[in-house]
Amino acid sequence: MSEQKLFQVFQNMLEFDPADYLVSSEEHELTDFQKKVIENATAIMKDNIIGEVKSFGGNLKVNEEKFKELENRANEELENEQYDDLKKELKSYVKKLRELIEKTCVAIIPVKEMPWVDVLFRTVPRIVFDKKVEFLDNTIAYYGEIKCVISRSTIFGKMKDEKPLFAPIMGTIDLGGYKLDEAQKGSKSKVYSYVSAIIDSFDSTLTRNHLAKYHEAYQRHGDPICDFLMKDNELMNSMERITSGIESNRLSSDIAVFSIAIPQNADKTTLLVVVDEGKDSNQFSRCFEALLRFSAEGCNVPSTGTPTQQPQAPGQPQPQQPGTVRTPGGQELKVWSAEELASEAQKRMQSQPDVPVWTEEELNKFSSERGTGLPEGMEVWTEEDLQELAQKRQGGLDIPEWKPDKNMKECVKCGYALRPGWSKCPHCETPVGTKIESESSETPSSDQSEESEDESDEIKEEIPEEISEEEPEEKKEE
């Protein structure tokens, strides 16, 4: 098992959730870091805030015993031999969880004259592993629910050397196994773990593939929601200014997703999330502006009618609707929807954690090989190589090319090669130097042909055999 997968196994075993350590600011005072961040997050909408801002922060003093239990579970797990080569980094990970808790905070901000009743802000601290453990605390997120339902989940992201784009989620969202309790009442945006799963899904290969598929297979066109949003230049400019995982160098991938709109059909709302990974002073205003413009346009997007309907790629037929089809023989065949296929794929991935995953570089390499029709490493011969190979097959003999003898004449009638000194063609008995007239004049009647045959027989008797083939030089002199 690779170090990266082993690290993920250890993380999953701990079942660490920052939400378990959040405490209301009304009950316990926030840390200086948490206070400053929330102050920056709310300052940009100061004139539109109505009521009291509810804030929460990770608190280790109140939850010290809970965290010690987590440390004990971690130490017991590290006794397993499989972690021997990674034990040092995993211990460092557990220590950095303290810092992650202290830099986690959430604010629920009641606003007026805006698309949402409440807008929420949160920090998104991360512990990443790439040969060694590293703590990142520069990511923030704004999110909220608008009072309308879009027909399909829609993401926004960037691709290296391409313009940013909106793309539809063609199936279900990869929440990494998280299950939202649909029976839970109240705003889903206030369920911390649910929003965390959504933000984590941005780094999922499945989620990024939705962006790549809409760019490549559909040429960025075909979904009514995405077509509508991408026509708004102000919205596109605002979203493009967001700092993604590509610009922050957190991701090695050429694709980064950092925003999403998810319909909440039960509540008749749509949850929108925008994440920014910048480190500059304009990060808060930039991220909030992108969410505001996205939310405003989200209220105006056209309805596609059926949420499962997918955009049609050029040259492809419309996909079949969920249900059954009947063959000419009367057999009923099940037709799977995009959501069902995505769900089955997710189940297979969870049941087979060691299935190899190809990087984008490997996929691009496979694509280029299919484009040329020649796999990498296959030998290609040049014309010179083929000529050399032909000579080897002849046994190495250098056989010269045949050329006609310029000193030999050809029979005017049949083209047979005549040696010097011959008076007649040995093949057709035509005298040397005879001029052939048109075919009509050459074609004799049956009587004439018989006479010519008799004459030719007489001539043959007069000409010795050796001269008929090749007349020696001595006899020519005689």
> Residue 172 belongs to what domain range?
139-307
Number of domains in the chain: 3
What is the Cα–Cα distance from 153 to 90, expressed in whole angstroms? Answer: 36
Same domain, 125 and 252: no
- For the record, the structure tokens of 444 come out as 């004799």
Same domain, 256 and 166: yes
Determine, yes or no, domain membership for 355.
Answer: no
Boundary (domain end) residue, out of 108, 137, 166: 137
Q: pLDDT at residue 281 above 60?
A: yes
- pLDDT, tens digit (0-9, with 9 covering 90-100), for 397-409: 666 666 666 677 8
Same domain, 24 and 144: no
Same domain, 124 and 144: no
Q: For residue 353, what pLDDT is reported? A: 56
Cα dihedral: 262, 359, 131, 7 (round 10): 50
Same domain, 298 and 256: yes
Same domain, 126 and 220: no
Which residue, among 182, 159, 384, has the nearest Cα to 266 in the 3D structure? 182
Determine, yes or no, domain membership for 268.
Answer: yes
Determine, yes or no, domain membership for 121.
Answer: yes
Determine, yes or no, domain membership for 342.
Answer: no
Mean pLDDT for the stretch of residues 16-43: 94
Determine, yes or no, domain membership for 162.
Answer: yes
- pLDDT, tens digit (0-9, with 9 covering 90-100), for 309-340: 556 555 554 444 445 555 555 555 667 777 77
CA atoms within 13 A on the CB side of 240: 13
- pLDDT, tens digit (0-9, with 9 covering 90-100), for 220-265: 999 999 999 999 999 999 999 999 999 999 998 999 999 999 999 8
Determine, yes or no, domain membership for 75.
Answer: yes
Same domain, 39 and 117: yes
Which residue, among 179, 423, 222, has the nearest Cα to 314 in the 3D structure? 222
Same domain, 101 and 174: no
Same domain, 123 and 265: no
Using left for φ > 0, alpha for ψ between -120 and 50, and beta otherwise, residue 220 falls in left
Same domain, 151 and 235: yes
Boundary (domain end) residue, out of 137, 172, 196: 137
Determine, yes or no, domain membership for 353.
Answer: no
Most confident range, picked from 76-85, 332-341, 365-374, 466-475: 76-85
Q: For residue 344, what pLDDT is reported? A: 75
Per-residue confidence band for 70, with pLDDT thresholds at 50, 70 and 90 = very high
Determine, yes or no, domain membership for 383.
Answer: no
Same domain, 164 and 47: no
Boundary (domain end) residue, out of 137, 156, 189: 137
Same domain, 120 and 206: no
Residue with tokens 């709310």: 42
